[in-house]
Structure 1
Amino acid sequence: MKLSTKQKQYLKGLAHSLKPVVQLGNNGLTEGVVAEIDQALSHHELIKVKIPTEDKQEKQLIADAIVRETQGVNVQIIGHTLVLYRPAKEPNIRLPKK
């Protein structure tokens, strides 16, 4: 799924007040964590995931793996936080037109 700049800006605004739903631990990205993220996306559509690493490349690789495994969309990475979006079967979030 591809989002326009306008849609990403809208989602960033919605995500601003959200708290991280999932936080990666010392074990990194495990199957259990991916399942938890997938379930949270199914329930909330828009979530924040905390990625506690200082290495920018590692953070980007983890974010890419999460997006690939969950079929979500990377809205933004800011600091240690990934904002992730995936529309539900019956979407609650109405995106602006492209």
Structure 2
Amino acid sequence: MLTGKQKRFLRAKAHHLQPIFQVGKGGVNENMIKQIEEALEARELLKISVLQNCDEDKDEIAEMLKVGAKAELVQVIGNTIVLYKESRENKAIELP
């Protein structure tokens, strides 16, 4: 579980990132979750964009991705979700 200070730190780091994944009409599936897990292992911090044509609520999507990828939800702002998961091999982000 992340503290408020750690979330603030990660939000600042994520500000300059571009969304790597997009959730659209198809919603969240197993393949997407697997790819997000792999990307989190490589990068630790990810932005995911929820498109306008998505049928599900962005908060529900954020929860599904968080549980599926076993990651921490940093923030949901607008249609963008920010996830963090500490990497086992490529640890680059040192939390305060």
Match of 1:95 in 2: 95
C-alpha displacement of 1:39: 1.1
C-alpha displacement of 1:53: 4.5
**Do the aligned partners of 2:40 and 2:84 also contact (CA within 8 Å) in 1?**
yes
C-alpha displacement of 1:25: 2.4
C-alpha displacement of 1:33: 1.1
Match of 2:71 in 1: 72
Match of 2:48 in 1: 49
Report the AA paired with residue 32 of structure 1: N
- TM-score scaled by structure 1? 0.89
Report the AA paired with residue 94 of structure 1: E
- TM-score scaled by structure 2? 0.90
Report the AA paired with residue 33 of structure 1: M
Whole-Å separation in 2 of the counterparts to 1:24 and 1:54: 9
Whole-Å separation in 2 of the counterparts to 1:4 and 1:74: 12
Superposed CA deviations along residues 55-92 of structure 1, whole A, max 9, x for unmatched, are 9x721111101000111000000100000000001421
Report the AA paired with residue 29 of structure 2: T
Mind listing any 5+ residue stretches in structure 1 that lack a counterpart? none
Match of 1:21 in 2: 20
Aligned length: 94
Report the AA paired with residue 22 of structure 1: F
**Do the aligned partners of 1:22 and 1:36 also contact (CA within 8 Å) in 2?**
no
Q: Give identity over the alignment, percent.
A: 36
